[in-house]
Amino acid sequence: MMGIGFEDIKVNGLKADDMSKIFNGVNKFYADYPQMKGFVKVFTTVNRKKDLMVAATTNSLKHYDDDDWSKWAMMPELKVNRAQLADFQALNEQQIATGFWVKTKDYTGTINHEMGHMINLKRTFDAHGINAGPIPHDRHDQYLPAMHDFGTSKVDDEVMREAFKSANIEYSKDNIAKYISRYGATDPAEAFAEAISNEDPDNVITKYVKQITKRELEKNDRTAP
């Protein structure tokens, strides 16, 4: 996939147009955050008509060898809901109008939101000294604290806290709803993902969230010369 880094792609029924739109979005994100390149290993689609879910990414722990059930891997996954692609623009406009979603112009914003979750998954792995990919047999236990931190949105919360502090605005659910989106106010991980995907150039919280994130990713830049 031209260096995009997916190792496993399962995309039943996805239109070629949508696929290239999504891959272009991922490539553009990797250009903005080069340390993330190749972090997402799996790309799949689901088809859930009654579900508002656009894409889910958080479950990355996968069993990968049917002959050996003790073999597990961390395989960060981008999952797209095909059912929403056809009328995504209408849904997006409606959600932005009510302030539930942050301002984005098209599906690229959704990719950026999901990749926002991936940033903090990678930063959590970095903090625990672990990588995506197969988990060595004798190290299963070391992955549990990392998944706990990711599950409790530890990194997301730290970044949001620092961003609000830098902007001199009180860090509260009301202010997340006001400065980011109401969806962002549901959970620090969603606040972060909404902030990263926010396309309003004048949003002060978003500006700090991106700055802090780039600074932190650079600290663990294993691709730097």
Contact residues for Zn ion, defined by CB under 5 A = 190, 193
Minimal distance in Å, beta carbon 56 to Zn ion?
A: 8
Identify which of residues 45 and 120 has a Cβ nearer to Zn ion in the complex: 120
- Residue 194 burial class via C-beta count within 10 angstroms: exposed 0-12, middle 13-18, buried 19 and up: buried
Nearer to Zn ion, 135 or 180 (CB): 180
Nearer to Zn ion (CB atom), residue 113 or residue 135:
113
Min dist CB 117 to Zn ion, Å, is 6
Query: CB-based contacts of 33: which residues, under 8 Å, 6+ apart?
Result: 115, 119, 213, 214, 217
CB closer to Zn ion out of 77 and 190 = 190
Residue 138 structure tokens = 């004798």
Q: How far is the CB of 62 from Zn ion (least distance, A)?
A: 20
Going from the C-alpha of 152 to that of each of 51, 125, 134, the distances in angstroms are 24, 14, 23
Convert 63-81 to b/e letters by CB count within 10 Å (16 or more is b).
eeeeeeeeebbbbbbbbbb
Cross-sheet strand order for the sheet of 61-63: 61-63, 72-74, 133-134
Residue nearest to Zn ion (CB): 193
Minimum Å distance from CB 83 to Zn ion? 17
Closer to Zn ion by Cβ: residue 58 or 220? 58
Closest separation between CB of residue 81 and Zn ion, Å? Answer: 12
| Residue position matching structure tokens 């010369």 | 225
